Chain A
Amino acid sequence: MTGAAHSKKIGLVLGALLVVTLPFWAGDQYQLHLAALIAVYWILVAGLNLVVGFTGQLSVGHVGLLSISAYTFAILGGTLGWNPYLAMVAAGGLGGLCGLLLGLPSLRLPGFYFAMATMAFAMIVNELVLANPQLTGGGIGLPGPAFPAPFDTPAGLYYLVAALAAGVTWLTWNIARRMWGRAFISIRDNPVAAQAVGVPVLRAKLSAFVFSGVTAGFAGSAFASLQSYITPDTFVFELSLFFFVCIIIGGRGSLIGPFLGVVVLTALPEMAAPLAKLGNLFYGVLLLVVVLVVPEGIGRMLELIGERIRPRVARHEAVKPDLARLTRVLAEQA
């Protein structure tokens, strides 16, 4: 195993240990809650990452999906008294359907137009929530149902969302490293090449959107339960921006980058009390700095720093075909 792969494995094991033992070393309930919130956000962002980070679609409307699924969960599990697990799965399904609807305009509208359409989507969802108080509690909001034991304690709920987050991470990691991941990146970086190799661009985009909708569905349910109470004020456009920014700052095309982005951007304003009020201002400035200085994200920035410390010279050898090998591989049927 190479040095880089070795340290990655160690990092992963350490990280997993940290996550699993967190309730024991976290300072107080508040920090445990924060960790659970990060996990919930990551559930959504991991799915959104496929749409934004890999396929390059500019969706700034995913807070709308979070809102829809949180309210679905609260209504089904709370008002209608469904089993919370069933309610969560239903919210996931509805999320997938709404994700499909959100993604449809991307097939016809170019980049900026599509971004505006998703922005409008988020605003419309909020308006619909406020306009139907008999269903959603209007401005007052709804309570978010708790999960049955053993997940009804803060530590229990933390383990539930952490497990969900781990599951979603595993799913997206599988997609990212195989042909589908490469296909998504081709749509992002060179759609002409994607078409030329036969990638079904429309179907791929919609798949990514549906997937991101399902993860948003689970995230919304967990969110409602974690916060215990949801109101329309929670689901502002700035939250959508936050998700989007986590991915851009973390770096498109990777998983660890956006994950670190979520961790840092959620924890920082909370940790530094004076920063809390400046939260959104901070995001704006940070995004601006990253876009201007390291547009590929912090992940790439770390790579560049790494290369400064240990430069790897890219030697240019001449291209010299191995014709025997070429003939052999072209000839074989298997």
Chain B
Amino acid sequence: MTTVLVTGLAIGMLYAAIALVYNVMFSTSKVLSMTTGHIAMLGGVFGAYFMQVLQIHWVLALAGSVVVGAAFGALTEVLAVRRVLQRSDEHLWLLSTLALATTVQQGVGLWWGTEPKPFPRLIPQDFSAGIADQKYWLPIGAAILIALGLDQFYRRTMYGKLFIAMSEDAFAARARGVSTDRVRLLSFVVSGVLGSFAGFAAGQLTFAFFALGHVLTLSGFIALAVGGLGSNVGALIGGAALGLLSAFASYYFGGEYQQTIAVGVLMLVLLLKPEGLLGAKNVRPV
């Protein structure tokens, strides 16, 4: 029973981390990128690659994965977001980020293979560790770290304040001399760093699997929507709720209806309260 709780919380915190990443990208661009789940997928896949294939120590492998994530974030902004935002068609970015996401997912599938591959241990630990297993605590810790880090970032750094300024009124920010293109690029790079960090941390739970991309994009989005777009606390709550709901649904009804129940119930929440639990009503979901 506690295993169910801990599993649910762990996977939920991965979803929460992805929701946090959505928030960072959304704040400066008002874009909900379909590549968000893929950032985490890359963190997991490249982490496994660095550690198992290149035999690099996990700290360096983490650094490498984070660099890959940052690069992907930058690529997303430059290729799929910047040019598209200039056009008046509202939902073009959905298509461009979807295209990029598909491309990356398929490319990784061709390179890494379509089987989920195991993710090596970071700290030596017995596989009978039960609920103290690091595969649970790493993602939970990562999500909390990301949330705290973002909080400090927004409160204490100049760039954090620039993100907030852009999210409230990009036009005014530009009028005050803020280079919105550069700040947006930075926010996508930061998203890449955070997302791949979360994916790396959750690697032992999810395995290094190319097809995680779309699944995490969807699940992370549900966590975001339930918690409320723009709220980091909401992201944590939404992620925990989705993770726990999935885990308990698995436990009581068997794994077969897991996604249906979880997604179904949460879609219901969305239809009743579209702005999410903690979402600001004036933050219009795009």
Which A residues contact B (CB, under 8 angstroms)? Answer: 56, 58, 60, 105, 108-113, 115-117, 119-120, 123-124, 127-128, 130-131, 237-238, 241, 248, 277-278, 280-281, 283-285, 287-288, 291-292, 295
Residues in A neighbouring B260, C-beta threshold 8 A = 124, 127-128, 131
B103 engages A116 (CB within 8 Å): no
Residues in B neighbouring A291, C-beta threshold 8 A = 84, 92, 95-96, 99
Q: Digit string of B84-125 for contact with A (CB within 8 Å is 1, else 0)?
A: 100101111011101111111111011000000000000000
B271 engages A280 (CB within 8 Å): no
Residues in A neighbouring B92, C-beta threshold 8 A = 291, 295
Ranked nearest first, the 10 interchain pairs of A and B with the lowest CB-CB distance are A284-B103, A284-B102, A131-B256, A288-B99, A287-B99, A281-B106, A280-B106, A120-B263, A291-B96, A124-B260
A110 engages B103 (CB within 8 Å): no
Also in contact, A131 and B257, with CB within 8 A (given A58-B94, A288-B96, A295-B87): yes
Q: How far is the CA of A52 from the CA of B256 in the complex (A)?
A: 31
From A56, A280, A287, B98 is in contact (CB under 8 Å) with A287
B32 engages A284 (CB within 8 Å): no
From A117, A127, A238, A287, B95 is in contact (CB under 8 Å) with A287
A112 engages B94 (CB within 8 Å): yes
Residues in B neighbouring A237, C-beta threshold 8 A = 214
User: Could you give 29 example pairs across A and B, Cβ below 8 Å?
Assistant: A56-B91, A58-B91, A110-B284, A110-B285, A111-B90, A111-B91, A112-B32, A112-B285, A116-B221, A117-B270, A119-B214, A119-B218, A120-B267, A123-B218, A124-B260, A124-B263, A127-B258, A127-B259, A131-B254, A131-B260, A278-B106, A280-B102, A283-B102, A284-B101, A284-B104, A285-B103, A288-B100, A291-B84, A295-B92
Q: How many residues of B contact A (CB 8 A)?
A: 46
Residues in B neighbouring A112, C-beta threshold 8 A = 32, 91, 94, 285-286
Residues in A neighbouring B274, C-beta threshold 8 A = 108-110, 113
Residues in B neighbouring A109, C-beta threshold 8 A = 270-271, 274
Additional 18 contacts, C-beta under 8 A, given A56-B91, A111-B286, A131-B254: A108-B271, A108-B274, A110-B274, A110-B285, A111-B94, A112-B285, A113-B274, A116-B225, A119-B218, A120-B259, A123-B263, A124-B260, A280-B106, A284-B102, A284-B103, A285-B99, A291-B92, A292-B80
Also in contact, A116 and B271, with CB within 8 A (given A124-B264, A280-B106, A288-B103): no
Q: How far is the CA of A105 from the CA of B264 in the complex (A)?
A: 12
B223-241 with Cβ < 8 A to chain A = 225
B271-286 with Cβ < 8 A to chain A = 271, 274, 284-286
Residues in B neighbouring A120, C-beta threshold 8 A = 218, 222, 259, 263, 267
Q: Does B83 contact A (CB under 8 A)?
A: yes
Q: Does B59 contact A (CB under 8 A)?
A: no
Q: How far is the CA of A58 from the CA of B98 in the complex (A)?
A: 12
Output the least CB separation between A193 and chain B (Å). Answer: 15
Q: Does B5 contact A (CB under 8 A)?
A: no
Output the least CB separation between B250 and chain A (Å). Answer: 12
Output the least CB separation between A122 and chain B (Å). Answer: 10
Residues in B neighbouring A115, C-beta threshold 8 A = 94
> Closest chain B residue to A119 by CB distance?
B218
A113 engages B285 (CB within 8 Å): yes
Residues in A neighbouring B132, C-beta threshold 8 A = none
Output the least CB separation between B67 and chain A (Å). Answer: 23
Residues in B neighbouring A284, C-beta threshold 8 A = 99-106
Q: Does B79 contact A (CB under 8 A)?
A: yes
From B90, B96, B256, A292 is in contact (CB under 8 Å) with B96
From B79, B80, B103, B264, A281 is in contact (CB under 8 Å) with B103
A127 engages B79 (CB within 8 Å): no
Residues in A neighbouring B103, C-beta threshold 8 A = 281, 284-285, 288
Residues in A neighbouring B225, C-beta threshold 8 A = 113, 116
Also in contact, A116 and B285, with CB within 8 A (given A108-B274, A131-B257, A295-B89): no
> Closest chain B residue to A280 by CB distance?
B106
Output the least CB separation between B112 and chain A (Å). Answer: 13
Output the least CB separation between B210 and chain A (Å). Answer: 11
Residues in B neighbouring A108, C-beta threshold 8 A = 271, 274
> Closest chain B residue to A125 by CB distance?
B260
Residues in B neighbouring A128, C-beta threshold 8 A = 257, 260
Residues in A neighbouring B263, C-beta threshold 8 A = 120, 123-124
A110 engages B286 (CB within 8 Å): yes
Residues in B neighbouring A288, C-beta threshold 8 A = 79-80, 96, 99-100, 103
Q: How far is the CA of A143 from the CA of B45 in the complex (A)?
A: 37
Also in contact, A241 and B259, with CB within 8 A (given A112-B286, A124-B264, A292-B96): no
Q: How far is the CA of A124 from the CA of B265 in the complex (A)?
A: 12
A123 engages B259 (CB within 8 Å): yes
Residues in B neighbouring A277, C-beta threshold 8 A = 110
Q: How far is the CA of A128 from the CA of B261 in the complex (A)?
A: 11
Residue with the highest number of chain B CB atoms closer than 10 Å, among A56, A113, A238? A113
Residues in B neighbouring A130, C-beta threshold 8 A = 256
Q: How far is the CA of A124 from the CA of B98 in the complex (A)?
A: 20
Output the least CB separation between B45 and chain A (Å). Answer: 16
Residue with the highest number of chain B CB atoms closer than 10 Å, among A116, A124, A130, A241? A116
Residues in A neighbouring B264, C-beta threshold 8 A = 124
Output the least CB separation between A215 and chain B (Å). Answer: 23
> Closest chain A residue to B258 by CB distance?
A127
